Structure 1
Amino acid sequence: METLIKKNQAEKQLGLGILIVVIGSVFLLRNSGIDIPRWILSWHTIMLGAGLWIGYRRNFQGGGWLALTIIGAIFTLKHIVVFDFELSRITTALVLIALGLYVILKPKKVTTFKNYGQANQSDFKDLNS
């Protein structure tokens, strides 16, 4: 149990360290005169990253991470321009496609009732006597 806690702590430190290095690198590149788009360090990109990180930490179970990711992705895609084409035109379609893929590919929870009551079978022979 103790090794599991230490492993969890080491993973948290690694993730936090990587995040700090990435943010520092972006600030360094921006202050060096290299043109870094403004959307990289905006609130919606941070929300997108937080949603993906929470999803990864929880094995993509639950819906909280998905809500953060979708909201962050919608606002981030509105600011991205690729080859003079604004992605905001197709943001809704991309979100619907991603949501559909999630519904298709999410792990199935199968509940089987095989052997469901065999462990707790009662013997009613005493009642019939």
Structure 2
Amino acid sequence: MENLIKKNQADKQLGLGILIVVIGSVFLLRNSGIDIPHWVLSWHTIMLGAGLWIGYRKNFQGSGWLALTIIGAIFTMKDISVFHFELSRITTALALIAIGLYVILKPKGIKNFENYHQEKTADFSDLNK
């Protein structure tokens, strides 16, 4: 149990260290005169990253991480323009497709009831005393 706790703390430290290095690198590149898009460190990109990180930490169980990821992705895609084509035109369609794929591909909570059926006999011998 103690090893599991130490591994969990090491994973947190590794993730936090990578996050700090990435943010520092973006600031360094931006201050060096290299053109970094404004959306890279915006609130919605941070929300997208936080949603994915929470999902990873919880093995993508639950739906809290999904809400953060979808909201962050929608606003981030509105800011990104690729080849002079604005992704905001197709953001809603992509979000609906992503939600549909999640509903289709998420693990099902099917339970096998074969093991629950056990033959138990009632003992009424104590009632006659």
Do the two structures share a fold, i.e. TM-score over 0.5? yes
Letter in 2 for 1:96: L
Task: Provide the C-alpha distance between the structure 2 equivalents of 1:73 and 1:17, rounded to a whole number of angstroms.
Answer: 24
1:115 positional shift: 2.4
Give unpaired runs (5+ residues) of structure 1. none
1:7 positional shift: 0.3
Partner of 1:92: 92
Distance change in 2, residues 1:117/1:126 (3 Å): farther
Partner of 1:123: 122
1:122 positional shift: 4.2
5 Å-filtered alignment, 1:44-83, equals 44-83=44-83
Give the SS at the match of 1:77. helix
Partner of 1:106: 106
Give the SS at the match of 1:126. coil
1:73-99 CA-to-partner distances (Å, cap 9, x unmatched) read 010000000000000000001101111
Identity %: 78
Task: Provide the C-alpha distance between the structure 2 equivalents of 1:82 and 1:101, rounded to a whole number of angstroms.
Answer: 24
1:124 positional shift: 3.3
Partner of 1:36: 36
Letter in 2 for 1:105: L
1:21-70 CA-to-partner distances (Å, cap 9, x unmatched) read 00000000000001100000000000000000000000000000000000
Cα RMSD over matched residues?
Answer: 1.6
Give unpaired runs (5+ residues) of structure 2. none
Give the SS at the match of 1:71. helix
Task: Provide the C-alpha distance between the structure 1 equivalents of 2:17 and 2:82, rounded to a whole number of angstroms.
Answer: 30
Task: Provide the C-alpha distance between the structure 1 equivalents of 2:19 and 2:41, rounded to a whole number of angstroms.
Answer: 12
| Aligned length in residues | 128
